[in-house]
Structure 1
């Protein structure tokens, strides 16, 4: 390209800076009709190109408009001031006022230099000039219909591939519009290539592309992680992926998902300790009696993932064929055979107690 192509994107929070009529934003900051049977309209904020002789190339509307008649008006002016009803007015304030009827706004924009299209999401703007620009999008449903406006992209200045052709082709308006079809295809492909580094960056890739990026990195997600958790895992890939199958990786991933560090007890930790047969049998029932087994203890906190999800996560980060147990501790444990006093044990009847370091049949007695 011999000329630099600029663009302004009205997406996400910048989309909300415009003036919507009968539109509401969802969790992804897309706009939907508040009343699906009634017309809706949207007017962008005024954009200043800072070029008095600015030309425009193209507007693309991103969304789903099944069942509605879509009208798009792109208007430009050399000044934001205008005469409205025989009085001087500021167009930027008037068009940004939610109290002004959208039909009136459309009328004001159509009085300027403008390009209008119906049921078209890709507009060629080669005939439009002006420093200040607005975009109006109106949707008129035939009945109950839900549709989505995700955003708009305005490109400027005018760029035409006819500049690469001999002079005789540059004067033909039909050829200019004909070649613009292939120009749009090329520019879209070029833009996607320019955005490729951002789509390969775990911090900037959209959520819908995050799973594909994780798959390229060899991460098995299977619905186990939220997008935020997945970005954390990719940032610490040496731990979560490079050390998969180790205790450190399992503890880290469980703490990431649950929000609290787990307690992992492996068989070798207590098997090597000289214990009475009764205590050894008790530990086998508590922590698992199979060779090489381990037990994962989690405190009783609200908002935990369902046990099935945690079981799949433990199997994913455990050595193949290693048996395990997942134990959720009760909010209160009685101090009879066994109690996790440093975990969830509490006194059922509050009172004073002292540890006298006495033992009874191998058990520590409190008194």
Structure 2
């Protein structure tokens, strides 16, 4: 039984773009909620579990995600939180600095700054504990660091008062005094002083109080940001030292503490205001734009942010002094909320589908979608013979109203909820109760932090064609049973429609490029190809397309080359006996020819580049291909070349061996040292053989 129906479809980007998309994006596979780079929970470092560590006073990032920790006893640890290993760098009682010091890493050194004392800015070697350089004055100005940070190039930035005074034996900043930020390279050489007339301390303050007031950070582009938590202002300078602007951050309540910039240049500020123990913790890390406007709060963290470091390897480190822990947040692509603090959802309003006939009874919709766990699709509709209606006391064209970007979505939704039908949740096939020439759809995507529904296609069929019309009239007399029976029979109608559509498009199942899975393997049997399960679909397609020509060349050198190229994507090198026969007459190379290729005239070698064969499984498939395609009377040897020089074996210049200029030895993921290597240092300059740590107190040169 075939019923002739008409349908509209939403499956191409041009179709979707006729409507209005809110927080949605069109991809090759369909429409889903937008995603953005956002911080989420990654790891918790519980500081009370580190043996020998007192309460933390400050922390800084070391190399390879390790953390320097300064405690209240003046111990300094280098802690590897991934492997839970703590190395004591400075032991309490060293008299080099106090627990009030600030830490940062500059190059391979640990920079320690104190606002008062004898040594106020000193770079130490973490391996030996020796001072590498120190700075107590700059251009006649005493250096009293109030805050320090480091950029991605290893240069340090030190915030200091420019005209400190000493009163009653205590150094402090005077009324209406200025401060600036000094940039210093890893060798201790001053590079630039950032200063501006807006960088002012209006009321005299002790340096200890100013340390809690100021925080600085440097963005990935070298831009400097200074947070004045008392004035709630962020001052920025360009990388060249030029003053940019001063913005007041829109932070209502709370106490700004700590500032960071992520790899994309987004600005983050922590909160350090005290709360009553019985109250709910309402302290968050807040994101701001360059003008200080509030953007969003960071999910995955709630609590005190005494200090935060952001933008390093897409991670953010937040120190919570109250709970004695450091929380590590990682930036990943996550579902984007609809508006500030909105739900993780997207909304789509379609344009009007025009049936061209008034009082059209719309039949049904079919939806092709993917719905991961904890996600949902909700579809509502509205039908009318008119495209105009009254909204908010004025007559509007519904299409124009839906796509008007000047009307906020939050204003549209309450009005339209009264207009559209009750939502159909996660439909695959659903009857419509709609009558009118035009029909509009509203689709809502609801996701979670990691997942979003994906809608590939939506079809709306019209006019109403029911299989109930083919049954005797007695089945249509009772309205209640008629409605149920009509919906019941529509399931079979959808089933028959799918079969008829499959038959109509049967030709596409015989197309190698559009077929996949078991169907593709079944098509391969039409050509007499027994496909190994380890072949990829792309390899099977290449084989099927070339099979007519390959059958003609089977058993020949060219046929074998092309067959291997089908599997690997690259032609092999084949060495036959006649190619090196003349070399066997030379005694000095005969032994090597025999070792490499043999003396059998019916034997040949197939050489494969190392990057072509990625696993032992692929090597076995290649051997099977060669055994099946070679001439019956011959013997074949498969050689997968090594990606390096092995003298006396298969090393070929320009294939797996290259000559280049000599360079310094660098140990990385592609370079290793044998386990029998011995490092010797006759003068014991770097303590080889004692207690040596690479890149801390020893280097390989």
TM-score for the superposition, normalised by structure 2? 0.41
- Structure 2 residue corresponding to 1:325, chosen from 597, 615, 638: 638
- Structure 1 residue corresponding to 2:501, chosen from 183, 186, 191: 191
Q: Does the Cα contact within 8 Å between 1:287 and 1:295 map onto a contact in 2? A: yes
Q: Does the Cα contact within 8 Å between 1:73 and 1:136 map onto a contact in 2? A: yes
- Residue matched to 2:11: 11
Q: Does the Cα contact within 8 Å between 1:49 and 1:132 map onto a contact in 2? A: yes
Question: Is 1:128 matched up with 2:434?
Answer: yes
Gapped regions of structure 2 (runs ≥ 5): 36-334, 338-342, 662-701
- Structure 1 residues 8 and 103 mapped into 2: Cα distance closer, same or farther (>3 Å)? farther
Secondary structure class of the residue paired with 2:356: coil
- Residue matched to 1:360: none
- Structure 1 residues 298 and 116 mapped into 2: Cα distance closer, same or farther (>3 Å)? same
Secondary structure class of the residue paired with 2:382: strand
Tell me whether 194-203 or 102-111 shows the greater mean CA deviation. 102-111
- Residue matched to 2:594: 284
Question: Is 1:78 matched up with 2:381?
Answer: no
Give a deviation string over 1:67-106, Cα, whole Å, max 9, x none.
2454211333435444433344443344346774278358
- Residue matched to 2:278: none
- Residue matched to 1:220: 531
- Structure 1 residue corresponding to 2:487, chosen from 161, 177, 184: 177
**Alpha-carbon offset, residue 240 of structure 1:** 5.1
- Residue matched to 1:63: 370
Secondary structure class of the residue paired with 1:297: strand
Q: Does the Cα contact within 8 Å between 2:627 and 2:636 map onto a contact in 1? A: no
CA RMSD of aligned residues (A): 4.3
Secondary structure class of the residue paired with 2:500: helix
**Alpha-carbon offset, residue 195 of structure 1:** 3.6
Q: Does the Cα contact within 8 Å between 2:365 and 2:459 map onto a contact in 1? A: yes
Secondary structure class of the residue paired with 1:318: helix
**Alpha-carbon offset, residue 248 of structure 1:** 3.1
Higher-Rg member (1/2):
2
- Structure 2 residue corresponding to 1:138, chosen from 431, 444, 447: 444
Q: Does the Cα contact within 8 Å between 2:521 and 2:531 map onto a contact in 1? A: no
Q: Does the Cα contact within 8 Å between 1:55 and 1:130 map onto a contact in 2? A: yes
Secondary structure class of the residue paired with 2:465: coil
**Alpha-carbon offset, residue 124 of structure 1:** 0.5
- Residue matched to 1:157: 463
Q: Does the Cα contact within 8 Å between 2:376 and 2:453 map onto a contact in 1? A: no
Q: Does the Cα contact within 8 Å between 2:352 and 2:399 map onto a contact in 1? A: no
Q: Does the Cα contact within 8 Å between 1:43 and 1:134 map onto a contact in 2? A: no
- Residue matched to 1:358: none
- Residue matched to 1:148: 453
- Structure 1 residues 277 and 123 mapped into 2: Cα distance closer, same or farther (>3 Å)? same
- Whose helix proportion is higher, 1 or 2? 1
- Structure 2 residue corresponding to 1:101, chosen from 409, 428, 432: 409
Q: Does the Cα contact within 8 Å between 2:22 and 2:346 map onto a contact in 1? A: yes
In structure 2, C-alpha distance between the alignment counterparts of 1:314 and 1:14, rounded to whole Å = 45
Give a deviation string over 1:35-84, Cα, whole Å, max 9, x none.
28834134264253452244422212222253245421133343544443
- Residue matched to 1:352: none
Q: Does the Cα contact within 8 Å between 1:249 and 1:317 map onto a contact in 2? A: no
Gapped regions of structure 1 (runs ≥ 5): 350-367
In structure 2, C-alpha distance between the alignment counterparts of 1:103 and 1:197, rounded to whole Å = 49
In structure 1, C-alpha distance between the alignment counterparts of 2:471 and 2:650, rounded to whole Å = 87
In structure 2, C-alpha distance between the alignment counterparts of 1:305 and 1:105, rounded to whole Å = 57
Question: Is 1:306 matched up with 2:617?
Answer: no
- Residue matched to 2:511: 201
Q: Does the Cα contact within 8 Å between 1:36 and 1:146 map onto a contact in 2? A: no
Q: Does the Cα contact within 8 Å between 1:244 and 1:318 map onto a contact in 2? A: no
**Residues paired across the two proteins, number:** 341
Give a deviation string over 1:267-289, Cα, whole Å, max 9, x none.
45545886335544323333356
Secondary structure class of the residue paired with 1:59: strand
**Alpha-carbon offset, residue 28 of structure 1:** 3.6
Secondary structure class of the residue paired with 1:236: helix
Q: Does the Cα contact within 8 Å between 2:33 and 2:445 map onto a contact in 1? A: no
**Alpha-carbon offset, residue 333 of structure 1:** 11
Secondary structure class of the residue paired with 1:319: helix
In structure 2, C-alpha distance between the alignment counterparts of 1:98 and 1:295, rounded to whole Å = 68
- Structure 2 residue corresponding to 1:315, chosen from 616, 623, 632: 623
In structure 1, C-alpha distance between the alignment counterparts of 2:498 and 2:508, rounded to whole Å = 16
- Whose strand proportion is higher, 1 or 2? 2
- Structure 1 residues 272 and 226 mapped into 2: Cα distance closer, same or farther (>3 Å)? farther
